[in-house]
């Protein structure tokens, strides 16, 4: 019997008549059966979340909520191997990644925000008054209310908890809608919430799709006060329209078409290592991945040759093989999208330096969602493959001659999420980094995360910042209290 994934509403696991398959992209096998939440299930979840705001959750202090978040982290760690296995079954990602990044970082999100909310203060300003007695202003943080958390499939647990943990820490109650492709770790998390005694209604989980399904029911619900969303820019814009009716607060982490710039003075070993990571990690399915690589003309040929060798050496394999470095894409639908870009690149005149197709295994993996790591060169900057987000293990490499040209090429994009700059010239590092039109710029590294820092994008890549106090600021609202002394 396949594993059944139910909704979690008002502290109970709820079945439904409409169900859909959860497919393992490694070999197309059935990973689970998911119960799709209908409109009335979402209504019940919102009602429960609203009641929980007025109930015990609303009366806990920040430190008490923080303590509960730490208990959730303990509960995840106690079932660590189950979370790792569930994430792998949904995504096909390598064991080595799931147990060092996805699940530990997802757990760390709870601990980090537990600590932050227990230790952070609010503003206080003393002011003079004409009568000389003065006044004192101080602010108190209040939760936004019921928060809808809509999350994607690429780092399912990490990205769900990245929003959930600060939202709960700030005292909100939650309706979470994970991606239909990757519902398993969210369902395990509901079990942990239940086991550690999170009050009913504080965390509700509804499964389903976007339009005409749970995603739409949550984002259009008049009693949901805020939506925090990670996913495609086009979905963000649909959600924005849906949420406009009752002016919900919005936090959006959206797509990217990120640039990496490799200057002629870069440490080439480090730049190649870093670019292998920034292009191919998670099979290119990280919003921060570099899909556009700009390399100084003097080192262009050497860089392309070295990246090609490294791409061809990446070990594609079964997720539980410790040697595996790269898994499949999340689904055959997504594989078809990525393959259509490989085809488009040829039509647009690209040189396919390596890859460009589907690997053959001669076993069950041939029914999976695999594509080859791919490097392209020779495209115009106006080519669709250089402008549109592909979200696969692929980059286009183009040469530049001057620093100004490199910055202009990097910034010539509708997106602005992340950039990577590789140089040993300290002045250039500072000068270039601040000119990149993106929310996050890494110099001589990639995806090095300090959870206190602002995270988010400009242009089509998002609205607002999360991370550290930026998250608390989004998930709460200050009321200023002015006391005349």
For strands 374-377 and 440-443, give the pairing.
Answer: unpaired
Please pick, from the candidates 2, 134, 211, 245, the single residue that binds ligand NAD as defined by CB under 6 A. Answer: 211
153, interface contact from ligand NAD, ligand 6OD, none, CB < 5-8 Å by kind: ligand NAD
**Alpha carbon distance 28, 364 (integer Å):** 8
Whether residue 287 lies in the annotated active site:
yes
Interaction of residue 168 with ligand 6OD, rule CB under 6 A:
no
**Least distance (Å) from ligand NAD to the CB of residue 146?**
16
443 bridge partner residues: 421
Interaction of residue 449 with ligand 6OD, rule CB under 6 A:
yes
H or E element at residue 211: none
From 219, 171, 189, 137, select the one nearest 66 (Cα to Cα): 171
Interaction of residue 277 with ligand 6OD, rule CB under 6 A:
no
**Alpha carbon distance 99, 183 (integer Å):** 18
Residues within window 361-400 making contact with ligand NAD, judged by CB under 6 A: 389, 391
H or E element at residue 100: none
- State the catalytic residue, choosing from 36, 87, 253, 389: 253
Q: Measured from the CB atom, is 66 or 90 closer to ligand NAD?
A: 90
Q: Measured from the CB atom, is 152 or 200 closer to ligand 6OD?
A: 152
Interaction of residue 475 with ligand 6OD, rule CB under 6 A:
no
Please pick, from the candidates 46, 116, 205, 254, the single residue that binds ligand NAD as defined by CB under 6 A. Answer: 254
**Least distance (Å) from ligand 6OD to the CB of residue 101?**
9
**Least distance (Å) from ligand NAD to the CB of residue 479?**
30
Quick check: helix, strand or coil at residue 354?
strand
DSSP conformation class of 98:
I
Interaction of residue 253 with ligand NAD, rule CB under 6 A:
yes
Residue nearest ligand 6OD by beta-carbon distance: 287
What tokens appear for 297 in the block? 């003309």
The full DSSP string for 18-65 is -EEEEEETTTTEEEEEEEPP-HHHHHHHHHHHHHHHHTHHHHS-HHHH
Report yes or no: 438 and 413 within 8 Å, Cβ to Cβ: no
Within 8 A by CB and 6+ apart from 383, the residues are 345, 348, 349, 350, 396
Q: Measured from the CB atom, is 7 or 275 closer to ligand 6OD?
A: 275
Q: Measured from the CB atom, is 113 or 162 closer to ligand 6OD?
A: 162
Interaction of residue 255 with ligand NAD, rule CB under 6 A:
yes
Interaction of residue 48 with ligand 6OD, rule CB under 6 A:
no
Please pick, from the candidates 83, 112, 113, 153, the single residue that binds ligand NAD as defined by CB under 6 A. Answer: 153
**Alpha carbon distance 350, 335 (integer Å):** 20
Whether residue 124 lies in the annotated active site:
no
Interaction of residue 287 with ligand 6OD, rule CB under 6 A:
yes
H or E element at residue 293: strand 290-296
Q: What are the CA-CA distances from residue 169 to residues 71, 209, 384 (Å)?
A: 13, 27, 42
Q: Measured from the CB atom, is 41 or 151 closer to ligand 6OD?
A: 151
Interaction of residue 287 with ligand NAD, rule CB under 6 A:
yes
**Alpha carbon distance 295, 75 (integer Å):** 46
For strands 4-5 and 29-35, give the pairing.
Answer: parallel
**Alpha carbon distance 121, 116 (integer Å):** 10
- State the catalytic residue, choosing from 181, 216, 287, 466: 287
Residues that bind ligand 6OD (CB under 6 A): 154-155, 159, 162, 286-288, 449, 455
The catalytic site residues sit at 253, 287
Chain residues that interact with ligand NAD, rule: CB under 6 A: 150-154, 159, 177, 179-180, 209-211, 215-216, 219, 230-232, 235, 238-239, 253-256, 287, 389, 391, 417, 457, 461-462
């Amino acid at each position: 019997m396949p594993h059944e994934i139910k909704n979690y509403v008002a502290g109970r696991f709820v079945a439904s008549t409409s169900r859909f398959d959860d497919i393992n992209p490694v070999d197309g096998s059935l990973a689970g059966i998911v119960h799709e939440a209908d409109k009335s299930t979402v209504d019940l979840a919102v009602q429960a979340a609203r009641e929980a705001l007025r109930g015990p959750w609303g009366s806990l202090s920040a430190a008490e909520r923080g303590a509960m978040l730490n208990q959730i982290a303990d509960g995840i760690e106690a079932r660590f191997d189950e979370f790792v296995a569930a994430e792998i079954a949904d995504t096909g990602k390598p064991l080595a990644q799931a147990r060092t990044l996805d699940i530990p970082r997802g757990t760390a999100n709870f601990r980090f925000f537990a600590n932050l909310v227990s230790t952070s203060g609010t503003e206080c300003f003393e002011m003079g008054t004409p009568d000389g007695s003065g006044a004192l202003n101080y602010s108190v943080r209040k939760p936004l209310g019921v928060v809808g958390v809509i999350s994607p499939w690429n780092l399912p647990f990490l990205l769900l908890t990245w929003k959930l943990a600060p939202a709960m820490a700030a005292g909100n109650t939650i309706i979470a809608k994970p991606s239909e492709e990757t519902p398993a770790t969210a369902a395990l998390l509901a079990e942990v919430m239940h086991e550690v005694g999170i009050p009913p209604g504080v965390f509700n989980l509804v499964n389903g799709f976007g339009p005409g399904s749970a995603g739409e029911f949550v984002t259009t619900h008049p009693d949901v006060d805020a939506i925090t969303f990670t996913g495609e820019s086009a979905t963000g814009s649909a959600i924005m329209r849906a949420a406009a009716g009752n002016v919900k607060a919005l936090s959006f982490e959206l797509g990217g078409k990120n640039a990496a710039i490799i200057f002629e003075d870069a440490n080439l070993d480090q730049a190649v290592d870093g670019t292998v990571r920034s292009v191919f990690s998670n099979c290119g399915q990280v919003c921060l991945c570099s899909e556009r690589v700009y390399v100084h003309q003097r080192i262009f040929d050497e860089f392309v040759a070295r990246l090609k060798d490294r791409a061809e050496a990446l070990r594609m394999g079964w997720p539980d093989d410790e040697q595996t470095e790269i898994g499949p894409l999340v689904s055959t639908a997504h594989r078809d999208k990525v393959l259509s870009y490989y085809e488009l690149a040829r039509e647009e005149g690209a040189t396919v330096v390596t890859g460009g197709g589907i690997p053959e295994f001669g076993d069950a993996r041939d029914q999976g969602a695999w594509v080859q790591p791919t490097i392209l060169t020779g495209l115009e900057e106006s080519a669709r493959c250089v402008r549109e987000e592909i979200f696969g293990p692929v980059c286009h490499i183009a040469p530049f001659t001057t620093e100004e040209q490199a910055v202009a090429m990097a910034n010539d994009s509708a997106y602005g999420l992340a950039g990577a700059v590789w140089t040993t010239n300290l002045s250039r590092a500072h000068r270039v980094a601040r000119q990149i039109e993106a929310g996050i710029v890494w110099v001589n590294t990639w995806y090095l995360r300090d959870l206190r820092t602002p995270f988010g994008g400009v242009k089509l890549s998002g609205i607002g910042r999360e991370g550290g106090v930026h998250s608390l600021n989004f998930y709460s609202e200050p009321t200023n209290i002015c006391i005349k002394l």
